[in-house]
C-alpha cells in the first residue's frame, strides 16, 4: 500500500461533501475518482495533496514517497520557452552532465592518486548519469512535448504567451517528466486532442508509479484504470475493474438496494395494516398483540431510499417536421486563415437519420466547418446545400449562442416568446434548474450549467438537423449518458465534433476523419474506425485497383496503391537497416565494457576518456535508433 485515506469527513458549511471516506491505493495501481459535478472529486484530490484540511480523518502516504498533482486550471507564469520549461525538470541530470564534462577536462592534467580518485568519481557519476536515463533526457523531453500535441515550431514559444489550455499541457508535461511515486490528475484530457489522449493513455499504462485520475472520459478510464472510487452523496465506495466494470456493478448494486428498500417498505406497510386491524378488534389479547408488533416495528432499522440516477433530466430531442432524405451536400469546400490552409476541396453528404462524428486533431478545422455550415464563417471556395425542410439546431462549445447578461428565464423566454411561464420553468427544471435558479445570470454559471442551458434551447428548437460542437464538454458522466440516450432516440440528423471517444462509440453511425486537409469516411462507430484505420494496407499487390482493409475510406486508385506499396517496402528496408545498426552498436558497447576491465586500459587516462566518449556517443545514437525502430515497427 502506497496511500491510504482513513475516515475522511469534509463539509462546506452545512453541505457535507465527504462522509467517513476510506480507501487505499497500491503500488503501480491506476485508479479513477468518479461522481457527478459537485460530488467532491476535486476536493478529495486537494485533501490528498494537503491543499485542503479535512474536518476529520487523515491521509497516510508511505514513507519517502512523493506526490505530483495537476489541478484543472493552471496559471503558469514563466519567461522560458516551452522546451526550456520542460527541460528544467531534468535539472539534476543536466547538472550531473556538466560535472562529468568538467571532470573530463580536469583529468587531462592529473596523475597518480589524484587521477585514480578522479577516475573513480568519473565512473560513479557516469553510472549515476546512465541510471537517470541521462543519455536520453532530451529525447524524453521532446517525446513528451510531441505526445502532448506540441509541434517543433511550438517549442520556442514563451510560456507567458500561451492560452490556458496550452499552459495546462505544459504543466502536465512537467509533472510527467518529474516522475513522482503517485500522479494525481484532475481532468487531464480536457485540453488534449485524440492523438494526445491516446499517447497519455499509453504513458500512464506503462508508468512505474501509481496514478489517481479524475476524468469524465469513459473511454480513457476503460483503457487506463483498474479501480474506480465513486463519490455518491458523500459516500465513497471502491470498485475493482475499469469504468465499464464499475458501471455494471453499480447498476446491479442499485437494483439490489432498490429491491431491498421496496421489500422493506412493503413489509412495514403490511405490519401497520395488521396492527391497525388488531387494534380495531378492541379486545385485550388483540391489543397486546398489536403492541407487541409495534415494538418489533420500532426496532427495524429502516433502509434509506437509494438515490435516483438524475432521472428528472431525461429529456427528448424530437424534430417538429421531417426533413427530406438528402439533408446536406458539401462540394469543394476550402478554408485558410492567412498562410495556414485548414482544408481543401472537401466533399461529403449527410442523409436523414445519420449521426456523423467529425473527428481530427486540434487545429485541423473541425469547428470551422461547423461554423461555415451555420453561416457564421464564409468558405474561401466551394459551397454547401441544405435539403428540403431542413431546420438546423446549433450547439456551440463556447456557448456564443447564449447571452451572458441575461437570466436563464430571459434566455428561454426571449428565444421562444410563445412559451408561457409554466412551460419555461418546467423546461428549465428538466435540466436541473429549479426555484430561484431560473433568475441566475448566464455569465455566472459554470461550464456544465451553461451546457445544460444550451441543451434546453436545443430541445425547444425542435430542429431536424442538429450541429453540435463538443456537446459533452463540462458535462459529468451521468449527463453525458442522458445526452447519448436522447441522441440515439432522435429521429433527425446529427453532425457533431467531439473528442469524447466513448460518446462517439455510443452514438455515431459514421465517422469523418479530417486529416491531411482531407476527409476520410468510415461507416461505423469509433471502435470500427480504430480497427480500419490501423489496417490501412492493400489487399493485393497485383490488382489494378483494390480495396484497402479500411474500405470505408474509399477505394485506392492504382497510383495511390503503388505509392502505398512503395512506402511499405521502404519502411521494411529501413527497419532492416536500423536493426542491423542497433546490433552492431550494442556489440561494440559490450566490447568497450570488456576493454574497460583490462588493466592496460583503465590505467591509461587517454584510453579511458576515449572509450567513455565512444560509449556516450553509442548511447546517444542507440537512443535515436530505438525511437526510429519503434516508429518503423
Pairwise CA distance, residues 16 & 233, whole Å:
8
Pairwise CA distance, residues 432 & 450, whole Å:
12
Pairwise CA distance, residues 171 & 165, whole Å:
10
Pairwise CA distance, residues 206 & 224, whole Å:
10
**Based on the number of CB atoms within 10 Å of its own CB, is 619 exposed (0-12), middle (13-18) or buried (19 or more)?**
middle
pLDDT of residue 565: 66
Between helix 558-595 and helix 605-632 the angle, nearest 10°, is 160
Question: At 232, which helix (H) or strand (E)?
Answer: strand 227-232
613, pLDDT greater than 70: yes
Contact 48, 59 (CB under 8 A): yes
Least confident of 300-309, 461-470, 493-502: 300-309
C-alpha cell at 607: 584510453
**Based on the number of CB atoms within 10 Å of its own CB, is 631 exposed (0-12), middle (13-18) or buried (19 or more)?**
exposed
pLDDT of residue 548: 42
Question: At 309, which helix (H) or strand (E)?
Answer: none
Angle at 80 between CA 167 and CA 46, to 5 degrees: 40
pTM (whole model) above 0.95: no
**Based on the number of CB atoms within 10 Å of its own CB, is 564 exposed (0-12), middle (13-18) or buried (19 or more)?**
middle
191, pLDDT greater than 60: yes
Query: What is the arrangement of strands in the sheet containing 3-12, beginning at the earlier edge strand?
Result: 15-25, 3-12, 56-61
389, pLDDT greater than 90: yes
Pairwise CA distance, residues 599 & 107, whole Å:
18
Highest mean pLDDT among 47-51, 393-397, 541-545: 47-51
pLDDT tens for 82-139 read 999 999 999 999 999 999 999 989 888 888 888 899 899 999 999 999 888 888 899 9
- Choose between 50 and 281: higher pLDDT: 50
DSSP code for 366: H
Kindly report the average pLDDT of the chain as a whole number.
Answer: 86
Between helix 194-205 and helix 164-178 the angle, nearest 10°, is 20
State the pLDDT confidence band at 561, using cuts at 50, 70 and 90.
Answer: low
pLDDT tens for 538-555 read 333 433 333 343 333 344
Least confident of 70-79, 324-333, 485-494, 514-523: 70-79
Rg over alpha carbons for the chain, rounded to the nearest Å, is 31
Taking residues 299-305, what's their average pLDDT?
85
Q: How far apart are the first and last CA of the chain?
A: 37
Question: At 422, which helix (H) or strand (E)?
Answer: helix 421-430
Amino acid at each position: 500500500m502506497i496511500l491510504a485515506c482513513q475516515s475522511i469527513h469534509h463539509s462546506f458549511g452545512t453541505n457535507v461533501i465527504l462522509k467517513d471516506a476510506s480507501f487505499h491505493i497500491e503500488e503501480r495501481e491506476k485508479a479513477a475518482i468518479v461522481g457527478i459535478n459537485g460530488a467532491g472529486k476535486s476536493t478529495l484530490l486537494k485533501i490528498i495533496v494537503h491543499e485542503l484540511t479535512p474536518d476529520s480523518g487523515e491521509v497516510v502516504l508511505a514513507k519517502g514517497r512523493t506526490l505530483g498533482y495537476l489541478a484543472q486550471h493552471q496559471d503558469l507564469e514563466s519567461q522560458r520557452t516551452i522546451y526550456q520549461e520542460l527541460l528544467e525538470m531534468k535539472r539534476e541530470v543536466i547538472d550531473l552532465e556538466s560535472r562529468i564534462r568538467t571532470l573530463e577536462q580536469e583529468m587531462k592534467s592529473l596523475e597518480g592518486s589524484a587521477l585514480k580518485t578522479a577516475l573513480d568519481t568519473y565512473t560513479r557519476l557516469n553510472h549515476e548519469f546512465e541510471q537517470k536515463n541521462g543519455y536520453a533526457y532530451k529525447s524524453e523531453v521532446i517525446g513528451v512535448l510531441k505526445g502532448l500535441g506540441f509541434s517543433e515550431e511550438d517549442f520556442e514559444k514563451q510560456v507567458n504567451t500561451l492560452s490556458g489550455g496550452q499552459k495546462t499541457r505544459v504543466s502536465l508535461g512537467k509533472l510527467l517528466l518529474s516522475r513522482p511515486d503517485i500522479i494525481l490528475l484532475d481532468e487531464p484530457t480536457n485540453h488534449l486532442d485524440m492523438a494526445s489522449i491516446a499517447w497519455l493513455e499509453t504513458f500512464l499504462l506503462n508508468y512505474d508509479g501509481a496514478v489517481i485520475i479524475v476524468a469524465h472520459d469513459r473511454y480513457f478510464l476503460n483503457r487506463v484504470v483498474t479501480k474506480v472510487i465513486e463519490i455518491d452523496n458523500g459516500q465513497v465506495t471502491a470498485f475493482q475493474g475499469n469504468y465499464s466494470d464499475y458501471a455494471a456493478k453499480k447498476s446491479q448494486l442499485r437494483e439490489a438496494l432498490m429491491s431491498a428498500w421496496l421489500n422493506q417498505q412493503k413489509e412495514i406497510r403490511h405490519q401497520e395494516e395488521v396492527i391497525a386491524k388488531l387494534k380495531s378488534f378492541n379486545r385485550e389479547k388483540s391489543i397486546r398483540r398489536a403492541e407487541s408488533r409495534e415494538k418489533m416495528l420500532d426496532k427495524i432499522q429502516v433502509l434509506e431510499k437509494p438515490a435516483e440516477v438524475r432521472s428528472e433530466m431525461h429529456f427528448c430531442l424530437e424534430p417538429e417536421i421531417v426533413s427530406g432524405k438528402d439533408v446536406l451536400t458539401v462540394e469543394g469546400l476550402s478554408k485558410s486563415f492567412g498562410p495556414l490552409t485548414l482544408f481543401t476541396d472537401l466533399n461529403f453528404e449527410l442523409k436523414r437519420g445519420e449521426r456523423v462524428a467529425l473527428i481530427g486533431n486540434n487545429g485541423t478545422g473541425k469547428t470551422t466547418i461547423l461554423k461555415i455550415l451555420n453561416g457564421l464563417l464564409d468558405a474561401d471556395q466551394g459551397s454547401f446545400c441544405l435539403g428540403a425542410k431542413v431546420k438546423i439546431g446549433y450547439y456551440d462549445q463556447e456557448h456564443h449562442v447564449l447571452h451572458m447578461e441575461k437570466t436563464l428565464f430571459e434566455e428561454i423566454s426571449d428565444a421562444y416568446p410563445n412559451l408561457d411561464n409554466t412551460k419555461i420553468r418546467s423546461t428549465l427544471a428538466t435540466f436541473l434548474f429549479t426555484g430561484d435558479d431560473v433568475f441566475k445570470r448566464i455569465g455566472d454559471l459554470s461550464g456544465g450549467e451553461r451546457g445544460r442551458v444550451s441543451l434546453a434551447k436545443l430541445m425547444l428548437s425542435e430542429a431536424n438537423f442538429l450541429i453540435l460542437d463538443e456537446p459533452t464538454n463540462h458535462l459529468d458522466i451521468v449527463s453525458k449518458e442522458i445526452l447519448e440516450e436522447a441522441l440515439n432516440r432522435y429521429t433527425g440528423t446529427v453532425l457533431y465534433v467531439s473528442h469524447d471517444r466513448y460518446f462517439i462509440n455510443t452514438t455515431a453511425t459514421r465517422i469523418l476523419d479530417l486529416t491531411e486537409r482531407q476527409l476520410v469516411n468510415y461507416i461505423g462507430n469509433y471502435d470500427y474506425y480504430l480497427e480500419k484505420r490501423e489496417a490501412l494496407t492493400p489487399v493485393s499487390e497485383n490488382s489494378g485497383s483494390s480495396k484497402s482493409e479500411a474500405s470505408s475510406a474509399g477505394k485506392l486508385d492504382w497510383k495511390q496503391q503503388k505509392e502505398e506499396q512503395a512506402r511499405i517496402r521502404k519502411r521494411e528496408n529501413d527497419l532492416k537497416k536500423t536493426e542491423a545498426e542497433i546490433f552492431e552498436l550494442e556489440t561494440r558497447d559490450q566490447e568497450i565494457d570488456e576493454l574497460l576491465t583490462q588493466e592496460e586500459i583503465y590505467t591509461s587516462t587517454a584510453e579511458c576518456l576515449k572509450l567513455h566518449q565512444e560509449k556516450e556517443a553509442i548511447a546517444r545514437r542507440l537512443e535515436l535508433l530505438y525511437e526510429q525502430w519503434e516508429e518503423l515497427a
